[in-house]
């Protein structure tokens, strides 16, 4: 197993190229199951999660290849299986989303209940209810969801009781080839939903309203192959922006959709960093000699502040001159980074869904453990700012979602290396 060792206390300076969005890429990959023509994805990140998805798709009969320039082609002329086994699905929760496309194409599917980051109970009840509304019969047998739709899926009106990114995307994927119209109410509005709809529409689907809470999908008979560029990763961009604000220095982020982080920029500015936008990038600048200011934040569905940046935001608040209150509204168990940040000298008290962060003057390096994907990123940011050596174990969490993190940060002057444990 690998660990990452950081000798911190240095400001970041340089430019970081942001990769394609992990959360978009893994769903886009599954779209190849909806057509017998090849699908090409560009700006594709090479991550553990995209590899896990490729492995699952390969099992289902998809031929895939990586090309130059972050390109991937996926082709499923026929499906070899309609089953997604536990060993392949447990690695990543989003792989559960193959259920809808398989069901839509083959009228039956058997998919293991998912795994993924341990940041809460994370059930899939909304996904299953949506599939039932589209006419599927669902049974739970030995840890598997067994779904059948004799005669195919049929359009329906579906109201989600609360916003779910995964359930919105999954229902869209299933409904594009269903007979008739599907209307989704209280749909998620994340940029990744728009990316998915753009790719599906280019393939011949008829989706209107992605990015708004009401989405209308007119079922079509067939989808074709296309080439589609994955949207830039707003969470990766936000992570590096927060790391730069935490350490101080000057970092330009290239290949960013700054409009996708509208909730973040004012808060970084409030904390004391200067944020400047240009056409394709964002510059984060802060004098490392000045103290950060405390900022309160609460996570919300898009366009609110993303839960996937909460841990990284907390790392920044640990060094602020005052008290920040951070509220997590999306997941019930997403403060696992707190005990690790405390090991670095942070002063954090968690009560229920709120963390009270009393800023300290400096953090000190220590051995810490990554507990989930985004928590790992917060430990990296804290380690970069901490004086002395921080070693982060279990970095496989990090490798699920951050492409070449030690190279990207190393190019900005960070003393960071990957080692065998």
Q: What's the min distance (Å) between Cβ of 238 and ligand UD1?
A: 12
- Residue 387 CB neighbour total at 10 angstroms: 15
Residues 354-383 binding ligand UD1 (CB under 6 A) are none
Using the CB atoms, write b or e for 36-55: b if 16+ within 10 Å: eebbbbebbbebbbbebbbe
How many CB atoms are located within 10 Å of the residue 123 CB? 10
- Shortest Cβ 199–ligand UD1 spacing (Å): 15
Least distance (Å) between residue 366 CB and ligand UD1? 27
Q: Residue 277 is inside which H or E element, if any?
A: strand 274-277
Window 145-164: contact mask with ligand UD1 (x via CB under 6 A)? -------------------x
Q: Is 175 in the site for ligand UD1 (CB under 6 A)?
A: no
Footprint (CB under 6 A) of ligand UD1, residues 119-148? 120-127
CB of 121 or CB of 141, closer to ligand UD1: 121
Q: Say which residues have a Cβ less than 8 Å from residue 193's Cβ, sequence separation at least 6.
A: 165, 168, 169, 172, 187, 210, 211, 215
Choice between 265 and 331, CB closer to ligand UD1? 331
CA distances from 33 to 178, 197, 201, 297 (A): 14, 15, 15, 39
Nearer to ligand UD1, 23 or 246 (CB): 23
Residue whose C-alpha is closest to residue 257's, from 195, 172, 168: 195
Q: Residue 289 CB: number of other CB atoms within 10 A?
A: 7
Q: Which is nearer to ligand UD1, 126 or 363 (CB)?
A: 126
Q: Which of residues 84-113 bind ligand UD1 (CB under 6 A)?
A: 93-94
Q: Residue 361 CB, nearest distance to ligand UD1 (Å)?
A: 32
Q: End-to-end CA distance of the chain, in Å?
A: 6
- Name which of residues 17 to 46 contact ligand UD1 (CB under 6 A): 23
Site string for ligand UD1, 284-323 (x = CB under 6 A): -----------------------xx---------------
CB of 121 to ligand UD1, least distance (A): 6
CB of 303 to ligand UD1, least distance (A): 12
Q: Which of 144, 240, 331, 335 binds ligand UD1 (CB under 6 A)?
A: 331
Residues contacting 384, CB < 8 A, separation 6+: 6, 8, 10, 12, 243, 246, 247, 409, 414, 416
CB of residue 23 to ligand UD1, shortest distance in Å: 3
- Segment lying near ligand UD1 (by CB under 6 A), choices 118-126, 218-226, 358-366, 413-421: 118-126
**Residue from 135, 166, 281, 383 binding ligand UD1 (CB under 6 A):** 166
Nearer to ligand UD1, 113 or 269 (CB): 113
DSSP 168-188: HHHHHHHHTTSBSEEEEES--
Nearest to ligand UD1 by Cβ — which residue? 166
**CA-to-CA distance for 189 and 172, rounded, in angstroms?**
13
Residues within window 232-291 making contact with ligand UD1, judged by CB under 6 A: none
Compute CA 25 distance to the chain's CA centroid, rounded to the nearest angstrom.
Answer: 9
* Residue 38 or 166 having the CB closest to ligand UD1: 166
**167/316 Cα distance (integer angstroms):** 32
Task: State residue 12 phi and psi, 5-degree precision.
Answer: -90, 140
Question: 48-59 vs 22-30: helix axis angle to the nearest 10?
Answer: 10
Instruction: Return the active site residues.
Output: 117
- Torsion angle, CA of 146/151/152/156, rounded to 10 degrees? -100
Which CB, 127 or 286, lies closer to ligand UD1? 127
Binding residues for ligand UD1, per CB under 6 A? Answer: 23, 93-94, 120-127, 164-167, 307-308, 330-331
């Amino acid at each position: 197993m690998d660990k990452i060792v950081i000798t911190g206390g240095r400001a970041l300076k340089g430019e970081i190229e942001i990769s394609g969005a992990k959360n978009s890429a893994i769903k886009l990959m599954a779209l190849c199951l909806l057509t017998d023509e090849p699908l090409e994805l560009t700006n594709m990140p090479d991550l553990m999660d995209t590899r896990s998805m490729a492995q699952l798709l390969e099992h289902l009969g998809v031929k895939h290849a990586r090309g130059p320039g972050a390109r991937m082609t996926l082709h499923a002329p026929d499906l070899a299986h309609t089953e997604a086994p536990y060993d392949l699905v447990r690695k990543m929760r989003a792989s559960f989303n193959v259920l809808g496309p398989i069901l839509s194409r083959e009228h039956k599917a058997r998919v293991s209940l998912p795994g993924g980051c341990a940041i809460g109970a994370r059930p899939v009840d909304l996904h299953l209810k949506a599939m039932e509304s589209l006419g599927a019969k669902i049974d739970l047998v030995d840890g598997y969801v067994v779904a059948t739709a004799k005669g195919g899926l049929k359009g329906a009106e579906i109201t989600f009781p609360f916003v779910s990114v995964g359930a919105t995307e999954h229902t869209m994927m299933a409904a594009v080839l269903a007979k008739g119209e599907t209307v989704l109410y209280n749909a998620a509005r994340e940029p990744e939903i728009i990316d998915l709809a753009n790719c599906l529409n280019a393939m011949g689907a008829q989706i209107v309203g992605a990015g708004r809470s009401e989405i209308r999908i007119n079922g079509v008979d067939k989808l074709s192959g296309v080439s589609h560029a994955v949207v830039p990763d707003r969470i990766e961009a936000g992570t590096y922006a927060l790391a730069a604000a935490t350490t101080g220095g000057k970092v330009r982020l290239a290949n960013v959709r700054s409009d996708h982080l509208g909730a973040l920029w004012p808060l970084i500015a409030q904390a004391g960093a200067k944020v400047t936008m240009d056409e394709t990038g964002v510059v984060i600048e802060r004098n490392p000699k000045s103290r950060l200011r405390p900022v309160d934040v609460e996570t919300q569905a898009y366009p609110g502040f993303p839960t996937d940046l909460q841990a990284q935001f907390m790392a920044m608040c640990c060094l602020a001159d005052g008290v920040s209150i951070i509220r997590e509204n999306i997941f019930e168990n997403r403060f696992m980074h707190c005990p690790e940040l405390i090991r670095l000298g942070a002063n954090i008290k968690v009560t229920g869904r709120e963390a009270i962060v009393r800023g300290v003057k400096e953090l000190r390096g220590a051995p810490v453990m990554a507990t989930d994907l985004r928590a790992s990123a917060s430990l990296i940011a804290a380690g970069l700012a901490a004086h002395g050596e921080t070693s982060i174990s279990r970095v496989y969490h990090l490798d699920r979602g951050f492409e070449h993190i030690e190279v990207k940060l190393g190019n900005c002057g960070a003393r960071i290396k990957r080692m065998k444990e």
